[in-house]
Amino acid sequence: MKKTLILVRHASAEEDNFRVKDFDRQLVSKGLSEAAIMGKWLAGKSIIPDRFVTSTAARAYKTAEIVADQLHINISDIVLNSSLYDGGPRAYLGAVNTTPDETDKLVLFGHNPDITYFGEYLSGSDIGSMKKGSIAILEFENLKWEEVSAKTAKLVSYTTPKDAKEAQERNE
């Protein structure tokens, strides 16, 4: 029984400024493109999550929406989790530990530094700082979601939009 967790950092968004609340920052055109590239990359790898969970912040939700569209997932199936915005790595663990056990592939859309810390916490691997739009894929052997904790995962891959785009261009 293998479980797969896909961690996605939101794609490139508006710069932080005093006119727009951080929570409301939107994806910029580069971010829209990054999200589409990563959705196509997942589709090309036949990695189709059973469950989509995203931060409620505009930039994370839009990233989730675009990736879902690329995977032909109904946008209404995206689960909103407000604690993934500014809730720390503990919020991510809570989202994972409360996932229904029939879910085999879970994707979480969130924010740095929390999403990077969470990936490192689960895998014991040094991911560095996840780049905007990047994806870390972790696998768990013989665990239920509620049993997931520190160093129980294997980091299978870490891919940036640049990596995915280059791979796509090589295959065309």
DSSP letter string over 31-42? HHHHHHHHHHHH
Q: Cβ distance 41 to 167 under 8 Å?
A: yes
Q: Which SS3 state, helix, strand or coil, does residue 159 take?
A: strand
DSSP lists the bridge partners of residue 136 as: 7, 158
Confidence at residue 167, expressed as pLDDT on a 0 to 100 scale: 86
Domain count for the chain: 1
* CATH number of 42's domain: 3.40.50.1240
Q: Which SS3 state, helix, strand or coil, does residue 8 take?
A: strand
Which residues form the domain of 157? 2-171
Confidence at residue 172, expressed as pLDDT on a 0 to 100 scale: 67
CA dist., res. 159 & res. 139, Å (int):
15
Using CB atoms within 10 Å of the CB of residue 74, give its burial: 0 to 12 exposed, 13 to 18 middle, 19+ buried. Answer: exposed
Predicted TM-score (pTM) of the model is: 0.97
Tokens read off for 171: 């295959």
Mean pLDDT by 10 residues, the chain (172 residues): 96 91 96 98 96 98 98 97 96 98 98 97 96 98 97 98 90 72
Confidence at residue 50, expressed as pLDDT on a 0 to 100 scale: 96
